[in-house]
Amino acid sequence: MGNEKEIDKLNNNMNRRHFLSKTSLGLGAAALASLLPKSMVSREGEGLDGMLDSPHLIPKAKRIIYLFQSGGPSQQDMFDYKPRLRELHGDDLPPSVRGDQRLTGMTANQDGFPLAGSHYDFKRHGDSGIYVSELMPHTAEVVDELCFIKSVYTDAINHDPAITFIQTGSQQAGRPSMGSWISYGLGSDNENLPAFSVLISRGSGRPFDQPLYSRLWGNGFLPSLHQGVQFRSGKDPVLNLNNPPGVNKMSRRNMLSKLKDLNQLHLNRFGDPEITSRISQYEMAYRMQTSVPETMDLSDEPDWVFDMYGEDAKKPGTYAANCLLARRLAERDVKFIQLYHMGWDQHNGIPEQLPLQCKDIDQASAALIKDLKQRGLLDETLVVWGGEFGRTSYCQGELSKQTYGRDHHPRCFTMWMAGAGVKAGFEYGKTDEFGYNILENPVHIHDIQATILHLMGIDHEKLTYKHQGRRFRLTDVHGQVVEDILA
């Protein structure tokens, strides 16, 4: 009897608790919905909008294609012409130039720092007369469309913190990536494809070099709806998207409908905004079962397109194929398209490795610019090219007439942009005759991020998210828009 009374008492308590909890949370959920950013509130039959009712500024770009070159391209061998380095080849870098710069453990203990002139010739190209290396003949053809920033600098000296920094605004893992911030702020223009899409290729220079981690395109503390979705080569472009054996489209639809009802009950009870993201992700995945195969199928592309992008464009997973897919995603109004190309870490063997790496990307990058322009998309698309840092002017390891290498160099490196909102055929910033220090117009990583957001119509100081009692933003507490490069 005693046990039965205790059970009855427990049931009564649970009933009262459930009543009070459901009543309060029902009212609380309604109140919460009125206070939350609209990106976190679901609407029947619709995807999620961005948290901004309207852009802070008039946007110049509708979308971004970010061609990230992972490993640190050697700017002195590609875009930053330094004839003085050839004249001083083998001479030690003057201590006054190097100063007290932090060095990596790979060169800090070298007996000397011999300057390495580039093996490659540079010529002026286009009406703008911008110098480009012989390694990049196709890029030279579109130089009048490009805006070169030759004075970028960063705070990090090693790969992982440097890549994390340029992608998320912090050297420490856990912050949202740039694509996630833009998805959070602006939402999606295509309910059948993710606003933030990721494509990865492995370079020929050092094919098994520095790894990439999915957190680089992660949502961090933003709702999970805004994480990047990786598109892969092969049978299943998006993992776990296709129905398993024995499950047809109607069965999947019925299952998702029931699951949505259960999640909606859970949302009404607990008011957790992440449940909204989960509902939206399930619905997006269902729509992607049709949209992704159609997007990834290049069979409808004519031969002249493959001729323009290069033979590698027919090989899934290559940089050229990913550039072509980036154009197809841009046509379908995907907001942020991130390409990662690995293999730029030439600590040695530049004459053997760098030409292969440049061949991977030169024709396809130029073709992307031409293709976007001829389709009327370049004026509304911002294309960004660059790595996490540059390479040193002095040699790491063996220096001879046949070979040389370069260490990491955060003090200055080159990026370029093209398309919506930036000046074409334009150079900004200047490095010294050694290509070692910035002489004019330094541009920090946070300035790059602020400028990209600005071109998308976002004030980088106003797009924030409160997490653990603090308001965060992509540029942390730094960053200025680089007004001089804006068209």
Is 364 part of a structural domain of the chain? Answer: yes
State the average pLDDT over residues 374-379.
Answer: 97
State the average pLDDT over residues 314-320.
Answer: 96
State the average pLDDT over residues 67-76.
Answer: 98
- The CA-based angle 295-182-167, given to 5 degrees, is 90
State the average pLDDT over residues 31-39.
Answer: 44
Q: Using DSSP bridges, classify how beta strands 470-472 and 465-467 pair: parallel, antiparallel or unpaired.
A: antiparallel
A 10 A CB-CB count for 78 gives 25
Q: What are 439's two structure tokens?
A: 């002489």
pLDDT at 35: 44
Helix, strand, coil in percent for the chain, rounding step 5: 40, 20, 40
The Cα 395–Cα 397 span in angstroms is 6
The Cα 123–Cα 146 span in angstroms is 16
Is 49 part of a structural domain of the chain? Answer: no
Evaluate if residue 383 carries a pLDDT over 90.
yes
Q: What are 420's two structure tokens?
A: 């919506």
The Cα 93–Cα 116 span in angstroms is 10
Is 324 part of a structural domain of the chain? Answer: yes
Is 470 part of a structural domain of the chain? Answer: yes
Residue 386's contacts (CB-CB under 8 Å, 6 or more residues apart) are: 67, 68, 69, 73, 152, 413, 414, 415, 416
Evaluate if residue 243 carries a pLDDT over 90.
no
pLDDT at 98: 93
Strand partners, 123: 132
Q: Using DSSP bridges, classify how beta strands 443-444 and 146-153 pair: parallel, antiparallel or unpaired.
A: parallel
Evaluate if residue 191 carries a pLDDT over 90.
no
pLDDT tens column, 248-307: 777 666 666 766 777 777 667 766 766 776 666 656 655 666 677 788 888 899 999 999
Instruction: Provide the CB-side half-sphere exposure for 118 (13 A, CA).
Output: 23
Residue at token pair 């001879």:
400
State the average pLDDT over residues 422-442.
Answer: 98
Q: Are 230 and 200 in contact (CB under 8 A)?
A: yes
Q: How confident is the model at residue 51 (pLDDT cuts 50, 70, 90)?
A: confident
Q: How confident is the model at residue 32 (pLDDT cuts 50, 70, 90)?
A: very low
Range list of H helices, 47-158:
83-87, 95-98, 137-141
Q: Are 232 and 245 in contact (CB under 8 A)?
A: no
Evaluate if residue 116 carries a pLDDT over 60.
yes
Q: Are 371 and 302 in contact (CB under 8 A)?
A: no
Is 279 part of a structural domain of the chain? Answer: no
The Cα 353–Cα 204 span in angstroms is 8
Helices and strands, number each (H, E), in the chain: 12, 17
Task: Identify the CATH number of the domain in which residue 223 sits.
Answer: 3.40.720
Which one-letter DSSP state was computed for residue 50? P
pLDDT at 210: 83
pLDDT at 4: 52
State the average pLDDT over residues 13-29.
Answer: 47
Q: How confident is the model at residue 46 (pLDDT cuts 50, 70, 90)?
A: very low
Q: What are 341's two structure tokens?
A: 């190309």
State the average pLDDT over residues 440-446.
Answer: 98
State the average pLDDT over residues 54-72.
Answer: 96
Is 388 part of a structural domain of the chain? Answer: yes
Domain span holding position 224:
63-238+316-485
State the average pLDDT over residues 382-409.
Answer: 96
Burial degree of 219 (CB within 10 A; 0-12, 13-18, 19+):
buried
pLDDT at 232: 80
Is 167 part of a structural domain of the chain? Answer: yes
Q: Are 75 and 391 in contact (CB under 8 A)?
A: yes
Is 187 part of a structural domain of the chain? Answer: yes
Residue at token pair 């049709």:
290
Which has more confidence, 402 or 1?
Answer: 402
Domain count of the chain? 1
